[in-house]
Structure 1
């Protein structure tokens, strides 16, 4: 067993146009001052990171690493979620997803997807240049609008959707393999990979690719009413990234999992700052220690009530409090005594008979 690393901070919900959130140096100063040890960098945010330059230039990557090291920080992983979302977009979401793409590609879904695929590949090369082994993403979604089957889904619809999803991602996974980088899909509602069954379907269709891995975020399990502790038991060999994010779910006579189209503050299920929700992080951190999770514990702040800077400050202490420094000895070794093979047999009442007896 090993002690997991943290706390890291996912920057996507904090970066902005105003200081200290508008440049990597200033946001690093702020995060370091709060006590974070690493940053999870959104590869699509040009205010913080140039993914194309990082893919091509070791010097650029060394410069970034050095600037962060001066502040007591490192990069935990790159996040490619917005690129991944554009790899596969159902037409119902074209207009909304266009905002994630360059202006020249908007209204051109095929070209947009091709561009996104290349961006994820660039991020894999950038990850290698940065010395990183894991990278986060979304799967995108072709089948999500057909989640609830009424009218009944035509035969072959889901199979075709997942075959196409796998066809688009397989070349990306191959590039990740060339670069020595695991691609960790965040299990997330609205993505085609949103639970264990959907991940298994996809994993099989990409040939059980060695680089196809999981980003575990328990908040999305609360909102779906999935067993996140059992999920760790089943899928821990695949889990290489971990978003520490809280959530709560209070169903009523008026709404449940689907939320009745309410805004976040009025939904039965909603994201909360760490410690304000229902996620059993003590058991999660215990299971991750038990299963020898090798990665980072990364705060992802999303809360419909609390200020983000308060959430970040409180989140550092919360994660530090939950990280288990794993023991290097067995607790009852003090009571042990050396026993040879003969003694073991006598303890069991198993006696060796004389030859020929």
Structure 2
């Protein structure tokens, strides 16, 4: 068994224009002072020049050296926003244009090509940084049709997933060449949002070995999916982990769809670690049991609590849940040293 690495923190939600959240060095220093040893960073010009990282090992070494001064390492690069743009239903064109470079806004095909190139650069950059996992979104073509009313046309879902697989296959091959796993965050709003949709996608990409999962139990609570059984089923594909809490509090007025309420008023909402309903003892135990060797990365999106407080509380919470795995069985002291001949004799053989 392997001991999970951590604690680490996803810094995307903290980026801003003011210190300590305005550049890589400041945010690394902040994270280190809180007690984090790793940061998951989005592909954002304020933190990393992804083109330079893909083309220069020395630039990547310089980044690692700068972070080492704060006893911080990069856990993964994130292309959640770029991955979203690999597949965008036309209903979301204007909303998702904000995720793209100015030069491709208003042109969905140019935007998609730009996103694909960003992902391919991230594959090479990850290799140059010595990383073996990468986190992202899948994008979505079928999501507006998630509820089967009006009745979906026959084969609509199949055609959507065929196209999604077609778009991702060359990207997955690029990551394969770099020796890096792509970990999709299974997330409502994405075509890959649960086990069934992930399996549909896997079939479309021929069970590509680089198509893996960023496990985030908070999204499963909001979908009322058994997040512990999910680990039993998909543990071989779980290569990244967001430690994020959530709660589901249905009432006489709303359930999982939320009634278009704001996050604070939804029946299902994200919470700070320990304030929600998730059984993290069960999660960390199962991940240890199945030899998950990656990072435990806090993602802070609480609907109520200040994010800086969430970050402060995240360190002791994650540390207290990481299981230092044993290297021997607890009853080894009682080993009788029985020989094979003695065993046969015990069995009457």
1:193 matched residue in structure 2:
192
Instruction: Return the offset for 1:104.
Output: 2.2
2:290 matched residue in structure 1:
291
In structure 1, distance between residues paired with 2:241 and 2:111: 29
In structure 2, distance between residues paired with 1:345 and 1:104: 75
Larger radius of gyration: 1
Q: How does 1:308-319 map to 2 (within 5 A)?
A: 308-319=307-318
1:150 matched residue in structure 2:
149
In structure 2, distance between residues paired with 1:245 and 1:341: 49
Instruction: Return the offset for 1:347.
Output: 1.8
Gaps of 5+ in 2: none
Q: Does 1:53 align with 2:52?
A: yes
Secondary structure of the structure 1 residue equivalent to 2:191: coil
Secondary structure of the structure 2 residue equivalent to 1:293: coil
Instruction: Return the offset for 1:103.
Output: 1.8
In structure 2, distance between residues paired with 1:74 and 1:19: 20
CA offset digits 1:56-100 (Å, max 9, x no partner): 111110110000001000001101100000000001111100000
1:354 matched residue in structure 2:
none
In structure 1, distance between residues paired with 2:87 and 2:150: 23
Cα RMSD, aligned residues only: 0.7
Instruction: Return the offset for 1:345.
Output: 2.5
Secondary structure of the structure 2 residue equivalent to 1:339: coil
In structure 2, distance between residues paired with 1:158 and 1:218: 25
Secondary structure of the structure 1 residue equivalent to 2:67: helix
2:21 matched residue in structure 1:
21
2:260 matched residue in structure 1:
261
TM value normalised by structure 2: 0.99
TM value normalised by structure 1: 0.97
Q: How does 1:1-357 map to 2 (within 5 A)?
A: 1-43=1-43, 45-348=44-347, 350-351=348-349
Secondary structure of the structure 2 residue equivalent to 1:87: coil
In structure 1, distance between residues paired with 2:27 and 2:340: 62
In structure 1, distance between residues paired with 2:236 and 2:230: 11
Gaps of 5+ in 1: 352-357
CA offset digits 1:251-273 (Å, max 9, x no partner): 11111010000000000000001
Post-superposition, which runs of at least 4 consecutive aligned residues in structure 1 deviate over 4 A?
none
In structure 1, distance between residues paired with 2:293 and 2:80: 21
Q: Which piece of structure 1 moves more, 328-337 or 130-139?
A: 328-337
CA offset digits 1:171-219 (Å, max 9, x no partner): 0000001100000001111100000010001001101111111000000
In structure 2, distance between residues paired with 1:342 and 1:82: 62
Instruction: Return the offset for 1:122.
Output: 0.3
Secondary structure of the structure 2 residue equivalent to 1:71: coil
Secondary structure of the structure 2 residue equivalent to 1:118: helix
In structure 1, distance between residues paired with 2:160 and 2:328: 49
In structure 1, distance between residues paired with 2:291 and 2:98: 39
Alignment size in residue pairs: 349
